[in-house]
């Protein structure tokens, strides 16, 4: 599998290992302790809500996070994350 972090492409043969950036890891660290709305995460990182939503959508595509019915984000378990 190939993962792109910034302008670098990384290849891994293990399905349970996912390579992510430091910024995305920061989002995961917050999601370990609470289930925030997109706007709450945007305020936490001092970015536009759209930027926060893009990062969360990228994490959702990697199957690391998901959304509850009340639009709050939560962390999914089971994948090993490598931060670059």
Q: What would the mean pLDDT of 53-57 be, rounded to a whole number? A: 93
Each residue of 8-28: pLDDT tens digit? 676 666 666 777 888 988 999
pLDDT digits (tens, 9 = 90+) for 24-43: 889 999 999 999 999 999 99
Of all residues in the chain, what percent carry a pLDDT higher than 90?
Answer: 52
Give the pLDDT of residue 33.
92
Q: pTM for the whole thing?
A: 0.80
What pLDDT was estimated at residue 63?
83
Q: Which burial class, exposed, middle or buried, applies to 29 when counting CB atoms under 10 A from its CB (0-12, 13-18, 19+)?
A: exposed
CA–CA separation, 19 vs 37, rounded Å? 24
């Amino acid at each position: 599998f190939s993962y792109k972090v910034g302008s670098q492409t990384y290849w891994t043969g293990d399905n349970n290992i996912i390579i992510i950036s430091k910024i995305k890891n920061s989002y995961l660290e917050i999601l370990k302790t609470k289930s925030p709305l997109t706007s709450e995460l945007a305020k936490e990182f001092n970015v536009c809500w759209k930027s926060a939503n893009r990062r969360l959508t990228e994490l959702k595509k990697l199957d690391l996070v998901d959304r509850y019915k009340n639009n709050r984000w939560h962390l999914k378990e089971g994948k090993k994350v490598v931060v670059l």
